[in-house]
């Protein structure tokens, strides 16, 4: 049986103060094409990424989950420098 360990808040605070956590890079993405007449899963991905309208720019951490979402709708968005 798998046991869930409680989160030790002091350990997290110590790791934050000593810098043992790796910082995630931030990606800026912009919606450049509409999600109208697109499959429902692509519309849901655009909504999950946080876009409200065309030309809206959002900042997301570069995690494998976010990179997969970006790859799924890469024809509707653009990476902003």
Closest CA to 33 of 16, 14, 23, 46: 46
Domains of the chain: 23-80 (3.30.1390.20)
- 6-43 per-position pLDDT tens digit: 555 554 545 555 555 556 799 999 999 999 999 999 99
Query: Rounded distance, CA 38 to CA 41, Å?
Result: 8
Q: Where are the beta strands (DSSP E) in the chain?
A: 26-31, 57-61, 77-80
- Per-residue pLDDT of 38-72, as tens digits, reads 999 999 999 999 999 999 999 999 999 999 999 99
Token code pair at residue 13: 């605070």
73: left (phi over 0), alpha (psi -120 to 50) or beta: alpha
Considering the chain, what percentage of its residues have pLDDT values greater than 90? 69
């Amino acid at each position: 049986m798998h046991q869930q360990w409680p989160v030790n808040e002091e350990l997290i605070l110590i790791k934050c103060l000593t810098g043992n956590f790796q910082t995630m890079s931030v990606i800026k993405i912009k919606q450049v094409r509409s999600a109208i007449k697109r499959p429902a899963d692509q519309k849901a991905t655009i909504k999950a990424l946080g876009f409200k309208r065309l030309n809206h720019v959002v900042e997301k951490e570069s995690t494998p989950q976010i990179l997969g979402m970006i790859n799924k709708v890469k024809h509707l968005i653009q990476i902003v420098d």
